[in-house]
Amino acid sequence: MIERFTPRTTIVRIGRTGQPWAFTLRPALLVPFLLLALSLAINLAHVPTTEFHPDETRWINRAHYFTDLGDPFGPTWEDQYLTRGQPPLGSYLMGLGLVLQGRDTVTNGVWDFAYGADWNTAAGAMPDQADLDAARRTNAAVAAITVVVVFTIGNAMAGLVAGTAGGLLLAVHPLHIWIGSQALSDQLLILLVALALLVALRLGRSPSRGLALALGILLGLGGATKLSPMLLAFPLALYGAGLLVLDRFDLVNRAKARSLAPLLLIQPLIAVATFVISYPYLWPSPVRRTWNLFQLRAQEMDEQAAAWPNVNIAHPIEAIERIYQRLTWQFSATGNLAEGALGWLGIQADVWGIDLLLALVGIGVLAWLVIRRGLTSGTALLAFLLAGQVGAIVVGMKVDFYRYHLPIVLAVAILAGLGFQLAWAWLAERGAARFWNILPGVTVETGDHAPHRPHDAATGTASPTAKTGSH
Amino acid sequence: MRRQASLLLAIAALVTILASVAAPTAAQDVDPPDPGPEPAAIGEPVAPLTDKRVYDMANLLNNEQEASIESDANRLARHGIPNVVVVHFSTLSPEEAGAFAAEIRRQWGVESNPGADDGLVLLVSINDTEENQGIVTTLSWGDNALPHYGVTSATAADIKRAWLDRYIDGGNLFEGIVFALRRLIYHSIYDPAPQAPLTGARADLGAIMPAAGIALAAGALALAGWCWSPQGRQRRPRQELTDLALQWGVPILAAAVFALSVAGRSGWGVAAGLVLLGIAMADWVARDPRQVPETRGAP
């Protein structure tokens, strides 16, 4: 069955050869465009209706960071609460989005969470509606691009079905849509994590300095968005050291391990350098000010836990329980789809989502793929990074805020895609894919195989044994 | 007649008892004026400043409003501006009110440490006499209080005019005080401290690094372009030396130019450092020995 998890080029031919309306489709090119359009349309449709969150004002307020990059020693980058409060990449994105949509980066004041909306509105901390909409649209686009990256990961790792299912699940996921239609930085975070996963997958397949540099830069930029991804560079270096140890005992592919390990060992250097370079605040004293950043984030997490005891998380087991509750009952793509279908039939019900169940199946598939492909494979690197990101959230989550679950949703989408690929492979082995036969004039070709339903040049009729693509 | 008198006495006794029971309860709801400074004799504050910062001697604020102002005054103190708010009736002129507020600041020790002189007294003097009616507001700052992050003399004057005076003139005493405190808090938290000017060697670096950085970056770019070009690859004299310069010299130069430009606050110097770093990275990637098929594998 492992062969069914090996990505192949799939081509769909529509119509008879030689006829003017005959054409060829490449799903690996077409599907991401469709997913992009779907996700963008859903997110943009939610921009005007999604509930306002005061956090959005902070990101819109800091949009001026983008234009202030032109003056890296100006007052913006002095040691102060706002620069210590959050790393800057989300603010750069907001600024870029506003500028691209014809707005400027001089926006609202800073929202003070010690006071209510009345005071903050009077003090000028509420953004203009046009700024809010533009910032939200920026995030909507980022969220749609993330869907495409998830498709690419699934397609490259396992096949077209894994990519399509993973991308689709993310595109219709209610938490992804919610945050994808708010002006926050969490969508940028998962985009960078998804890109890092994709590059890790390719780095494992063909180790090269260019890909190693790209991976380190993405982890550094992830750190410049929400700190935690940068920390993944350190266990990645340990992974590289582990490969060298395993190589000494001849337990891994020697050529691959010796090629890959040095590139993993330098990841912290590249990630940290990228993080520092991207943030002028850090330049005068990189170590001390980075420490300030982490300290303030930890302090704010503790203060949030004290201020909202109902969302306080005491230990990682409780974090897992919260994740289960959130992603099963409150934010579930499958639950939402089922509720929608039942509602269409006139039945109102709270449906138990099976996203996590699908992800559990995906974890099994991923573990199986890692065992088959080896620890020097891209799949193993991706699994290691994914586990690291999810683990960091589970261990580090002190308060149960909805947005902290978004990286888990990314992992769920990728893993659930693998679950679907498994189901597809199981069905294909039983010949279920022959349903293509009912589509007149359709031929499917995959990879280095001959067309599964070769055209009869004389009659243009299809063979009755056509099979589908992920094969 | 005697029965009627007894009944009246009984009713009077009941009323007296009820009144005596009710009196303490009613007294709790009354907001008595705070004892506090008078122009003639300022005296001592009734409590440590950390416990009580609001003195409403005019009794114009209710308990809830006082508590709200107290909360914001404490928050402002936590963000580095020790302060006291005083509201009183007086016939002081603006100049006299300023002197009086400064006297409160000194005698009550409104400062972070003895001798720091970094505190603030917000004084609202209400003239409610028949001859002259008006309100004088004063922000009396210690000599070392300003600038404090974004709170400068100009910002403080703006806050006084746009928040304190505007709301109080409109008859909103509570809003005027509390909004002024909140704006001071805002500028204390969210604005940076004014930047100290560069002096000495760092100022010299600031002058040198733009030109030096750009010249070094241009030189490195020319060297890399030549080495990477087909002609450069084919017939390059002293190949080891140029390779050494690209592999080790450029990265070290990039780090040095970046660090010196940061020390001298030179934006152009930093840009030059980043160009050098880009050249070093591109050369490192171009020299990758891994472009061999045996290192390729499963996804």
Q: Do B299 and A376 touch (CB under 8 A)?
A: no
Q: Do A72 and B267 touch (CB under 8 A)?
A: yes
Best residue of A81, A365, A370 to probe chain B, by most B CBs closer than 10 Å: A81
Q: Do A374 and B297 touch (CB under 8 A)?
A: yes
Q: Which residue has the tokens 């649209």?
A: A137
Q: Do B295 and A81 touch (CB under 8 A)?
A: no
Q: Do B191 and A373 touch (CB under 8 A)?
A: no
pLDDT of residue A171: 98
Q: Is the pLDDT of residue A396 over 90?
A: no
Measured between alpha carbons, how far is A222 from A200 in angstroms, rounded to an integer?
Answer: 14
pLDDT of residue B47: 78
pLDDT higher at B17 or A76: A76
A64, A107 in Cβ contact below 8 A? yes
B262 contact residues in A (CB cutoff 8 A): 283-284
Tell me phi and psi for residue A113, to 5 degrees.
Answer: -70, -5
pLDDT higher at A446 or A41: A41
A210 contact residues in B (CB cutoff 8 A): 285, 288
Q: Is the pLDDT of residue B280 over 80?
A: yes
Best residue of A4, A8, A67, A78 to probe chain B, by most B CBs closer than 10 Å: A78
User: What are the tens digits of pLDDT across the range A325-362?
Assistant: 999 999 999 999 999 999 999 888 888 899 999 999 99
Of 3.20.20.10, 3.10.310.50, 1.10.238.10, 3.20.20.70, the CATH number of B54-190 is 3.10.310.50
Q: Which of B281, B288, B296 sits opposite A205 (nearest CB)?
A: B296
**How large is the C-alpha radius of gyration of chain B?**
36
Q: Do B190 and A123 touch (CB under 8 A)?
A: no
Mean confidence (pLDDT) of chain B: 87
Q: Which of A213, A283, A376 sits opposite B262 (nearest CB)?
A: A283
User: Looking at A116-125, A370-379, B44-53, B92-101, which range is the least confident one?
Assistant: B44-53
Largest CA distance in chain A: 79
| Dihedral of the alpha carbons of B170, B175, B176, B182, in degrees to the nearest 10 | -150
Mean pLDDT of all residues in B139-152 = 95
Contacts 24+ apart (CB under 8 A), B276-279: B276/B216, B276/B217, B276/B220, B276/B250, B276/B251, B277/A277, B277/B251, B279/B217, B279/B220, B279/B221, B279/B224, B279/B246, B279/B250, B279/B254
Mean pLDDT of all residues in A413-425 = 94
Nearest chain B Cα distance for residue A269, angstroms: 13
Q: Do A205 and B149 touch (CB under 8 A)?
A: no
pLDDT of residue B179: 97
Mean pLDDT of all residues in A389-408 = 92
A206 contact residues in B (CB cutoff 8 A): 290, 295-297
For chain A, the structural domain boundaries read: 2-433
Q: Do A73 and B182 touch (CB under 8 A)?
A: no
Best residue of A91, A112, A253, A278 to probe chain B, by most B CBs closer than 10 Å: A112
A82 contact residues in B (CB cutoff 8 A): 190
Mean pLDDT of all residues in B110-138 = 91
* Interface predicted TM-score of the whole assembly (ipTM), two decimals: 0.84
Q: Do A377 and B291 touch (CB under 8 A)?
A: no
B265 contact residues in A (CB cutoff 8 A): 73
Mean pLDDT of all residues in A136-153 = 98
Spatial neighbors of A185 by CB under 8 A, at least 6 apart, are A59, A86, A89, A90, A91, A93, A225, A226
Q: Do A213 and B267 touch (CB under 8 A)?
A: no
Mean pLDDT of all residues in B242-253 = 92
Q: Which of A75, A157, A283 sits opposite B195 (nearest CB)?
A: A75
Best residue of B78, B195, B290, B296 to probe chain A, by most A CBs closer than 10 Å: B290
Nearest-by-CA chain B residue for A159: B299
With cut-offs at 50, 70 and 90, classify the pLDDT of residue A71.
very high
A204 contact residues in B (CB cutoff 8 A): 297, 299
- The separation between CA A218 and the C-alpha centre of its own chain, rounded to angstroms, equals 13
A376 contact residues in B (CB cutoff 8 A): 297
Q: Is the pLDDT of residue B22 over 60?
A: no
Q: Do A72 and B285 touch (CB under 8 A)?
A: no
Interface contacts A/B by beta carbons within 8 Å: 103
